[in-house]
Structure 1
């Protein structure tokens, strides 16, 4: 029967239903877009006949659609079921051959298809370019007089499936045996497409081995034509994720310097802005440590797809999608593709035995495909497994058969490829996930077990061993271009699944465990750069630290390995990896006490790092407790002049500062500095740190000029002795700028800090805690100079700090307190109140009700209430803050004087001008004595005194005091400074309490 052709005009209006296999979805999208450009109305029909439906019935159902039916032919179209070619031939003859006017087809494969597809008269689109493919498509539908339209460079439609997205990195090869999951893939697509701007994040959630990674990869291939940039990132560890995200910078064509932090910042910013590409897809694979990496989740117009076992992603604004095990039909179809020697019955029985878990089906069916063992024999082995393995389940919800199945597979490998098993055993003493092979292959031969020497030195044996592990899905091979020419070294990593890792490790004897663990520990120690304070080496530490626990480094008495632990803790502290650092330090302290004894020198080393991490996270009481024990013991054992004692005392002083025991902290800090000066001299890094810490102590005592002098000395020496971009130099710049601001030298503070913030971002990364603190110092300096953008800048900073450090971290509370004050000053009283009350509540919970930070925040909240007209409540809070602060730090501390300044206003407004004037006079006198006659707080107290005297009708004295104060403000801050203008307009001055770093 001849094919009926329509006229061009009719064809352009004719609706077309595209029938396609899910595997060929990208072709369907591209073809549909081309037809819509020509005027067709297009509908899509994914061809996936349910079990029990014959092929003939499915084809007849297609005839219910309006217009033409365009079939996209591929081997995948005919594998659904799976059904035989003969079944297909019979259905094609019965339905298509009698309706050739309704059916048309294009072929996107060169594979052999059922012979009866000849009835479809398919045009081949295989192996040709987009322009020719569109011409053939239109010709097949009868639009012979219509030429392909010119491309619009700004188009947003899907690209030609043979053309890769402009940016493409890290995506695994497509799994040609991928089976099922059609509805899930469609749901992922619609969730992402329908999400609001900046919120298109989907997390595939499920247990290990359920196929999350394979689904994500298949999504990339099916829908990748709709993106301009696709980037796949292993997200098992924070360091790896940061590294791979930073590597996206050159792929996006971003112009950045060589600094690690700058590249990462540029990438996240480019994704957020959608420039150069707004249609981007980022896949985070294996993102189980949610708390460690959630802050790196990008926002913007693109899409993020996450695979994880951790339900905590639901708390980070992602749409969770459960990934179940295969349905039985999917299991049977997959097994038959993986092991074609098995029939439906065998596949069904195997799927039942393995409980339809895709990873187990893949590994077991792949092994059975190459084996002569029958399914019955295999299932018999499963049912008679060693009972001692019952306690070796990977997790409570994993079946026992998993361990037994792995034992069978590994025994097979042991017999055929013993070298691969040796390598596998070595790898399980790294953490699961990416394993940097370079660390093993760089070890000297003397450090390797005898059975691994030949393997490491022979590239052919190495490749054979890794290939066998990859073949059986034991590991995945990944390569990154890091500039290494070594075979298998540098660029190559092996990726091991967590279940495989646990299973292999649990099966090792104690002797094997000791032998392999020692080798991996040596590899990690050899890879230690030795300088954790050097930010340029942080990527190296990010590579090493995830493997410390798996290697059992805390069990070693080797000095090099113990130094690795200490260096890693220092890196974690400086880089802001506080959670990981605390876990390592806590376990390390307990392990080393048992291994080395309570008073071994290493105990004091790890105690110091542990205390630093506790202090950084606000756990001051715990830090003080362990530091006090160390100080008391070392003083008694070694005397006052001992370096370990001075280190322990340094931590003690920091804890005392956090607990607001400022006089005691100052005395300890002074003694520490004197000790270092005597033992190591003025320019030693330890002496400089001690001088820095003494400055912190005197700053908290309100002695700002003294703090400035100490910080200036430290900064000058660090700039000279270290490079200007060293993290310690930058830290001194923060403190120096802070001192300048507290002294009212706002312009100088901003000048120092503007350059410092830029350098921080380049050197340490945009989200490093020290960088965030530098930005806070800059914004507050700008605010004091009258910067109107301060509320917006602080709001953005607060959002980032909360994301990176959490809402209870000391720096978060510091920034939140500042934001509340600035929001109040700019009229956003509701926001100021909610944030300010939350800060006070959190400080009270961690520091107690009488800590100066709690009292200072109460005073700030009183100012909010005063601005809102709630004068009685405001006065109660402000007076409570004044009384408490006086008891906590004394009447002459700037914090107490600031609280007194605020109290003068509430007393005046409440009808007590005499009490207000008396307090104002006392406050201005004390402020002048403590801070100097021209300090902003002193001048504010003088302006307040003038207002109070005016209320008492003492006009002449009031005008004289006011005139002198205004002259001083103009001379020190400038005639147009916000404080000067406010005072000139007789606006009542106030004082904001600002928590300080400890």
Structure 2
């Protein structure tokens, strides 16, 4: 085909719009399609965590022009600040201004950099014909192509100009300018109605009180109303009101009828069914909570009916059901910040959590806080102290009742029809909000319940009827049991936080005490026992959330005390340290108030508290706590009391964390001797003490002694417990660690590799004990020569540890240290340096500059400096570290010997060959004496000595030392191991510092 005969390509345009301005986007798209454009719609709703620059740059992936529908909603979505927008517009839009165009559809001021859009025109406040003319001029469409749209406005299927209301409009609430989110819900609602069969376009929006069903329906009307000719809003809580408002539609439609409601109503229903005079109609029935009296009045025909209700029974009346959920957290934060600009993002998230993301509660509370001097933290504290729930709720003209009042009306209705359902709800209010296992609820002792509730628990039919009625009115959500996946599960009640607070707050003090006592007894009866048994952890996980709500912390009952201790022990073993710390702190406050600060029960609790606190790295604090426990409980019970001995075990771990390794060893040896005398060789406490003794020996560099203790302990624990028990797995990891530190890499790998798989199955992949075992495995892989595999394992492990434990926990820092030196060895110097410096600084702040971990990470940093070519800085740092590590641990500790070996290389590179050789000789002698001549560190020190001797031209001695080192490496690691190959190639070895935890 000749070039001049090729038809012009259809121009493409992408319309980017905020959901609030959907009507504008639909009209603009229709006009542009009539003018010959190919139109693509792009909803602008980037997640808060996505930077504006990224979101705007994503628009550039579309073909053709990009037309942005500008409004306050487009710019504030998130919300985003003007400063963020100005930066993004300058960096992304300005360089691509030829691609962009914009129309403004609201009068609010725009960010200063808004002119970065290539062209902008104002559509706000003008008529449809002028708006279409400006739109054509903006995109360069020939005026001859502009359609005479005025004749089609409001007719046919074309979207209506947003400033032109439907032909018939009545009763619709004012649009809420703080409306937030709901994009998915509104789009699903639109799809359900548009895809419905003729005569079946009926959808019910369902949800609990205050979730925003009415607001979602109103927003649907404003967002999609341009596609309807008739929009009629009807309050539907009573049949008489519904009949009256539907009948009032007759004169609005111009129907020739008399004055009788019945006649008008029949005419309206017939007109809607036939679609005459208007086929595109929308009727909204708001607040239709009882379908029985009004179901026969639901309009059908060519248009759509939208119902808002709390009642699931609408599903039986030929209507599609669409659940309106509470806000997701980003929506809650955005809504609160629009409602109360003084509240920051972090406080908005805290408020959203306290109110369960319920829109009405957020609206009324944020409205009050916006003008109040009370902080969000103070308000939440009041809520948590069971203060009046209506405190701080500000009603508004569009919803003149508080959430509490609204819900109370519903409860009164339920009480009249199914009183036992309300009593069940009152009982549930003394479990925690959220998920409540039905097994716990039905486990409340019958003697502690009112008669009607006791009968309900034993009668499955009545139980199911009560649950069904609460579900029907969206008071609770019910998850039915799945016998195949969880045989113990008998179903789960989900109770929203605001429902929980409202029900609980409406009860008398006497009823509160009665129901809370009943729930406590149910929790006590459900105590799983043996918290070390991982098979029982799922049951503990279901109990822990309900301790506070049931007032278990203030109970004087010994069974409740036992349950709390078991829960704290479970939280420690499961690695839920922060939850455990918070529970222990709240319990200590309650018990000190109830029993006095010096009661032995309180000090038992403090000992458990220190155990939970220790994994966070606050060793100075845990040392003080453990010494206080030893002193106070020792005075009450004597020094041989088992709780006192447990506190002494903790003290040994505290001293290890503080690098007072000799003191720690002395404490560990004393505790082990006392356990042997008190409970014998095979008692679990004795084995724990031996495990701790091995850790103390390991930190002192006595790897062979630690190996012997762990070997004996592993066998004993496997016999006493079972091979898959968490304590046996802990000994397995310690045993493999000892093998690795002794240089027996293949043996260590053969032990830890299957152990890690068992850890994952038994403990879970994110348990700290599993993470520790995986670190050991990664380092075994590294020492066996597969650097790439170790690098991949450590990178993933660090990401998981930071997610689970935070980036400052001792275990995370240990993993980060190892990850950094593997990154350096892998050639990723920038990453290694950044991670190493961050870790080094955290150790310095938390443990002090003279702690071996702080010194060791500076040693690793010196290797990064050397690799980066900063040799003088590297040598200076290594010499400082050698002096400090010697002062901290002595000249014979393996860590000091490792630093010394690195320092010999720095001296050699700096031309101080004599100093390097002297230090190398001393290092070889000491390493051979402490670790044995065939240990990898001893052999590496010999390889380094050979290099220094060669620098002194002592070739004969150098060759002899090198041959001995090579023979030792071949004998211990094999001829193809990376260390052997490097030594054969005369690559000087180095030593990486690895922190060890007690």
* TM-score after normalising by structure 1: 0.65
Shift of 1:510: 2.5
Whether the aligned pair in 1 keeps the contact of 2:553 and 2:590 (CA below 8 Å) is yes
Matched residue SS, 2:155: helix
Figure out how many residues of one structure are paired with residues of the other and give that number: 726
**TM-aligned CA distance change 1:202 to 1:58, over 3 Å:** farther
Whether the aligned pair in 1 keeps the contact of 2:445 and 2:522 (CA below 8 Å) is no
Query: Residues of 2 paired with 1:479 and 1:980: CA distance?
Result: 62
Matched, 1:509 2:501: no
**TM-aligned CA distance change 1:311 to 1:474, over 3 Å:** closer
Query: Residues of 2 paired with 1:532 and 1:415: CA distance?
Result: 45
Matched residue SS, 1:807: coil
- 1:696 matched residue in structure 2: 695
**TM-aligned CA distance change 1:396 to 1:700, over 3 Å:** farther
Matched residue SS, 1:720: helix
Q: Which of 331, 351, 359 is equivalent to 1:204?
A: 331
**TM-aligned CA distance change 1:896 to 1:449, over 3 Å:** farther
Shift of 1:455: 2.9
Whether the aligned pair in 2 keeps the contact of 1:206 and 1:323 (CA below 8 Å) is no
**TM-aligned CA distance change 1:62 to 1:441, over 3 Å:** same
Please say which of residues 430-439 and 447-456 is displaced more in the overlay: 447-456
**TM-aligned CA distance change 1:655 to 1:978, over 3 Å:** same
**TM-aligned CA distance change 1:986 to 1:452, over 3 Å:** same
Cα deviation, 1:505-544, whole Å, max 9, x if unaligned, reads 2233322222111111111121121121111221111111
Shift of 1:870: 0.2
Whether the aligned pair in 2 keeps the contact of 1:924 and 1:938 (CA below 8 Å) is yes
Query: Residues of 2 paired with 1:469 and 1:899: CA distance?
Result: 69
Matched, 1:427 2:428: yes
- 2:274 matched residue in structure 1: 116
Cα deviation, 1:24-82, whole Å, max 9, x if unaligned, reads x9xxxxxxxxxxxxxx9998999xxx9x99999864263479xxxx9964246899543
Whether the aligned pair in 2 keeps the contact of 1:92 and 1:117 (CA below 8 Å) is no
Once the two structures are superposed, the pairs formed by residues 95-110 of structure 1 within 5 Å of their partners are none
- 1:588 matched residue in structure 2: 587
**TM-aligned CA distance change 1:723 to 1:855, over 3 Å:** same
- 1:3 matched residue in structure 2: none
Shift of 1:830: 0.7
Matched residue SS, 1:794: helix
Query: Residues of 2 paired with 1:546 and 1:173: CA distance?
Result: 34
Cα deviation, 1:777-823, whole Å, max 9, x if unaligned, reads 00100001111322122111111111111111111111110011111
- 1:155 matched residue in structure 2: none
Shift of 1:453: 1.9
Cα deviation, 1:216-236, whole Å, max 9, x if unaligned, reads xxxxxxxxxxxxxxxxxxxxx
Matched residue SS, 1:392: coil
Whether the aligned pair in 1 keeps the contact of 2:229 and 2:278 (CA below 8 Å) is no
Cα deviation, 1:859-907, whole Å, max 9, x if unaligned, reads 0000100111101111122112111111111111111111111111111
Query: Residues of 2 paired with 1:114 and 1:56: CA distance?
Result: 24
**TM-aligned CA distance change 1:45 to 1:940, over 3 Å:** closer
Matched, 1:60 2:56: no
Query: Residues of 1 paired with 2:202 and 2:249: CA distance?
Result: 12
Cα deviation, 1:667-712, whole Å, max 9, x if unaligned, reads 1111111111111111111111111111111100110001111111
Matched residue SS, 1:434: strand
- 1:937 matched residue in structure 2: 937
**TM-aligned CA distance change 1:704 to 1:461, over 3 Å:** same
Matched, 1:462 2:463: yes
Query: Residues of 1 paired with 2:504 and 2:246: CA distance?
Result: 46
Matched, 1:663 2:662: yes
Cα deviation, 1:202-225, whole Å, max 9, x if unaligned, reads 943259999xxxxxxxxxxxxxxx
Query: Residues of 2 paired with 1:647 and 1:449: CA distance?
Result: 44
Shift of 1:406: 4.0
Cα deviation, 1:953-976, whole Å, max 9, x if unaligned, reads 222222211111111111111111
Shift of 1:425: 2.0
Query: Residues of 1 paired with 2:315 and 2:523: CA distance?
Result: 30
Whether the aligned pair in 1 keeps the contact of 2:742 and 2:935 (CA below 8 Å) is yes
Whether the aligned pair in 2 keeps the contact of 1:730 and 1:756 (CA below 8 Å) is yes
- 1:916 matched residue in structure 2: 916
**TM-aligned CA distance change 1:440 to 1:973, over 3 Å:** same
Matched residue SS, 2:492: strand
Query: Residues of 1 paired with 2:486 and 2:876: CA distance?
Result: 72
Matched residue SS, 2:493: strand
Query: Residues of 2 paired with 1:565 and 1:326: CA distance?
Result: 33
Please say which of residues 513-522 and 598-607 is displaced more in the overlay: 598-607
**TM-aligned CA distance change 1:87 to 1:759, over 3 Å:** same
Query: Residues of 1 paired with 2:335 and 2:480: CA distance?
Result: 23
- 2:953 matched residue in structure 1: 953
Whether the aligned pair in 1 keeps the contact of 2:901 and 2:920 (CA below 8 Å) is yes
Query: Residues of 2 paired with 1:615 and 1:596: CA distance?
Result: 26
Cα deviation, 1:306-362, whole Å, max 9, x if unaligned, reads x9877799xxxxxxxx997699xxxxxxxxxxxxxxxxxxxxxxx999999xxxxxx
- 1:866 matched residue in structure 2: 866
Shift of 1:600: 3.7
Query: Residues of 2 paired with 1:630 and 1:918: CA distance?
Result: 50
Cα deviation, 1:129-166, whole Å, max 9, x if unaligned, reads xxxxxxxxxxxxxxxxxxxxxxxxxxxxxxxxxxxxxx
Query: Residues of 2 paired with 1:440 and 1:323: CA distance?
Result: 25
Matched, 1:627 2:626: yes
Q: Which stretches in structure 1 are left out of the alignment for 5+ residues? A: 1-12, 16-21, 26-39, 95-110, 123-171, 189-200, 211-288, 292-306, 314-321, 328-350, 357-388
Q: Which of 378, 390, 393 is equivalent to 2:389?
A: 393
CA RMSD for the aligned pairs?
4.7
- 1:528 matched residue in structure 2: 527
Matched residue SS, 1:869: coil
**TM-aligned CA distance change 1:512 to 1:783, over 3 Å:** same
Shift of 1:474: 2.9
Whether the aligned pair in 1 keeps the contact of 2:364 and 2:402 (CA below 8 Å) is no
Q: Which stretches in structure 2 are left out of the alignment for 5+ residues? A: 1-9, 13-18, 23-36, 44-105, 107-124, 129-149, 161-193, 204-227, 235-244, 256-268, 281-313, 338-344, 369-384, 396-400
Query: Residues of 2 paired with 1:703 and 1:684: CA distance?
Result: 25
Query: Residues of 2 paired with 1:690 and 1:541: CA distance?
Result: 26
**TM-aligned CA distance change 1:734 to 1:948, over 3 Å:** same
Matched residue SS, 1:205: helix
Query: Residues of 1 paired with 2:642 and 2:929: CA distance?
Result: 39
- 1:300 matched residue in structure 2: none
Once the two structures are superposed, the pairs formed by residues 225-374 of structure 1 within 5 Å of their partners are none
**TM-aligned CA distance change 1:207 to 1:595, over 3 Å:** farther
Query: Residues of 2 paired with 1:955 and 1:742: CA distance?
Result: 32
- 1:82 matched residue in structure 2: 233
